Amino acid sequence: MLLKEIQPKINGKQSVLQFKGYNANAVIDDGEMRDMYNLSSDKYPVLSQRAPRNIIDMPVQHPRDIIVKNNVPYIIDRYEVDGEIRTFIKYSKGGTDYQKRINNIMPKTMVAHNNKICIWPDKVYLDITDNTVKHMDASVRATATIKPGSIYLVGADLSEFSVGDAIEISGCKKQPGNNTVIVIKSIEGSTITTYENSFRMPNDDVTKESYVEEEVKLARDIPDLDYVMESNNRLWGCRSEDNTIYASKLGDPLNWNYFQSLANDSYALEVGSDGEFTGCAAYPTHLIFFKEHHMHKVFGSMPSQYQLYSTECFGIRKGSDKSAVIVNGVLYYHSLTGVMAYDGGTYPVMISEAFGDYQFKSAVGGSNGKKYYISMLNESENKYNIFTYDILRRLWHKEDETKVTAFANVNNELIYIADGNIWTTTGKRPEDDIKWFAVFGPFDEFVENMKSYKKINMRLDMQPGAQLRISTQSSNGEWEPIYECETERGKTLSVPIIPNRQAKFSIKIEGVGRTDIESLTRYYRGRSDRP
């Protein structure tokens, strides 16, 4: 008599003790989450919620941009006064709030240089020593008496010019050769003294000591720049209109036309690549000017030593110029393919493989020194998301749908502009009712002939007032709640979960309030291939 072969039952378990972060790809590692909301790696390997955020109490109405100088935030704010839209730069120093009106041109780019906060496209600056707003450029028109080493402008106010300025002269008709650039050696009243023999007399009549031009213009021009940054005591910028990189005179952001074959000269260089500039960044060892498919790198310490190297690669995506942030010697930015990291080598590398097929645009970035924050628009879902990249652990987490317009770091505290307010990412006050969720799976233990799951145990720590719901996903894609609880006091729970009888399943854990998830263990049963 033959006996029927019996395949003995097997029991197994698989535990998740490290929660690794967000991964939207088709195949993910155990411990990764296919989707999440308001979660972080702050307590890694435990899964926890993001830190509370708080609004910073500042007198702003519609903040647009922010920059930090000497740990003081300077904010571009927009007001409506008597039906007129007005734009101001606002800041607080020594317990006093300041508000200085600037032009109503939006958007704006701010860059700090020594005691100046310079603003484009307005081409004005805030002098932080006397709290005044002044024009970066300067010009005057007047009848001029010209001598070989000086020019006298009848009745002209030259108070906006300074010794050392490189100014361009135009309008000379009797001697067009005097339409040139001169450097101011001194100013006395309406007379500018320059270097000897800077001017020529009409017909080169050396016997003449002076002559008169009816209307002459003197101008200290500032270039119209698309993107601006500061590096090594200069301002640098780029302009797509003429495909040119510019640098100011050393130590002087008001002079961009100073060319005297000296170490402190201004600098300008046209690049050969096609396309618009999309951003710039001051890397510690060199400067980078981006296009969507190029990096233009400038090396050197003075104009005579500057060298340009160009690399074809994925640069900053247009509209994501504010995503460029340097953290611990690595430059992070958003490109057409995803988030990139550049450590000074030849090519940047992509670090956002976890985003799967999702595409993003209009990215804004910031950092607290430990994490890289990026807010960007999901093109397929048409909504914004904040993601954080844990630099040490190389893990991504997704927070909420906040649209951030600017980040700034104040003494390693990351602040940002959103919803018409100034926020901090590390709020000291509790943030009530933080909603969160995590989606795991679908789980598949890759066990031959596995029949079903028996249960799932979760170990978690719920803080007072926290709420929790656990759901599994049915075959039609709907989430079916299988466990709910609410606690008024902190306690640790071991939660048995009996999923539906299926070889694969997903689980969604969601809640309100503080809950730390310490482990997740799956128990399954099946049959062995061995009789």
Q: What is the pLDDT of residues 11-65, one digit of tens each?
A: 778 889 999 999 999 999 999 999 999 999 999 999 999 999 999 988 888 999 9
Whole-prediction pTM:
0.92
Model pLDDT, residue 531 = 46
**In the predicted model, is pLDDT for residue 106 greater than 90?**
no
The letter for the amino acid at 132 is T
Other CB atoms within a 10 A radius of the CB of residue 434 amount to 21
CATH homologous superfamily for the domain 9-50+433-527: Galactose-binding domain-like (2.60.120.260)
**In the predicted model, is pLDDT for residue 529 greater than 70?**
no
Model pLDDT, residue 42 = 96
* 279: exposed, middle or buried (Cβ count in 10 Å: 0-12, 13-18, 19+): buried
**In the predicted model, is pLDDT for residue 451 greater than 80?**
no
Order of all β-strands in the sheet with 515-527: 9-16, 515-527, 450-462, 491-497
pLDDT mean over 73-96: 87
Fill in the DSSP letter of residue 70.
Answer: T
Model pLDDT, residue 206 = 66
Indicate left, alpha or beta for 185 from its phi (over 0: left) and psi (-120 to 50: alpha): alpha
pLDDT mean over 471-475: 82
Assign 291 to helix, strand or coil.
strand
**Domain 138-220's class?**
mainly beta
* 418: exposed, middle or buried (Cβ count in 10 Å: 0-12, 13-18, 19+): buried
Q: Which residue has the higher pLDDT, 84 or 318?
A: 318
Q: What is the pLDDT of residues 116-163, one digit of tens each?
A: 999 999 999 999 999 999 999 999 999 999 999 999 999 999 999 999
Closest of 236, 313, 245 to residue 277, by C-alpha: 245
Nearest-10 Cα torsion for 81, 85, 89, 93: 20
How many percent of the chain have pLDDT more than 90? Answer: 75
Assign 355 to helix, strand or coil.
helix
Q: What is the pLDDT of residues 276-300, one digit of tens each?
A: 999 999 999 999 999 999 999 999 9
β-partners of residue 286 are: none
Q: Can you tell me the distance from the alpha carbon of 107 to that of 121, in angstroms, rounded to the nearest whole number?
A: 8
Q: Can you tell me the distance from the alpha carbon of 294 to that of 8, in angstroms, rounded to the nearest whole number?
A: 62
Q: Can you tell me the distance from the alpha carbon of 115 to that of 345, in angstroms, rounded to the nearest whole number?
A: 33
**In the predicted model, is pLDDT for residue 103 greater than 50?**
yes
3-state secondary structure 429-462: CCCCCCEEEEEEEEECCCCCCEEEEEEEEEEEEE
Model pLDDT, residue 152 = 96
Q: Can you tell me the distance from the alpha carbon of 306 to that of 13, in angstroms, rounded to the nearest whole number?
A: 62
Model pLDDT, residue 284 = 95
Please check whether residue 137 is in contact with residue 129, taking contact to mean a CB–CB distance below 8 angstroms: no
Q: What is the pLDDT of residues 236-291, one digit of tens each?
A: 999 999 999 999 999 999 999 999 999 999 999 999 999 999 999 999 999 999 99
The letter for the amino acid at 397 is H
What is the domain partition of the chain in residue ranges?
9-50+433-527, 54-135, 138-220, 227-424
Q: What would the CATH number be for the domain defined by 54-135?
A: 2.40.10
Q: What would the CATH number be for the domain defined by 227-424?
A: 2.130.10.10
Q: Can you tell me the distance from the alpha carbon of 215 to that of 512, in angstroms, rounded to the nearest whole number?
A: 73
Assign 377 to helix, strand or coil.
strand
Model pLDDT, residue 450 = 53
Assign 44 to helix, strand or coil.
coil
Q: Can you tell me the distance from the alpha carbon of 393 to that of 42, in angstroms, rounded to the nearest whole number?
A: 11
Our CA angle for 461, 465, 467, nearest 5°, is 70
**In the predicted model, is pLDDT for residue 105 greater than 60?**
yes
Please check whether residue 74 is in contact with residue 88, taking contact to mean a CB–CB distance below 8 angstroms: no
Largest interatomic CA distance in the chain: 135
Closest of 5, 6, 34 to residue 442, by C-alpha: 34
Fill in the DSSP letter of residue 25.
Answer: S
Fill in the DSSP letter of residue 419.
Answer: T
295: its two tokens:
């990096």
Q: Can you tell me the distance from the alpha carbon of 476 to that of 478, in angstroms, rounded to the nearest whole number?
A: 6
Q: What is the pLDDT of residues 385-431, one digit of tens each?
A: 999 999 999 999 999 999 999 999 998 899 999 999 999 998 878 78
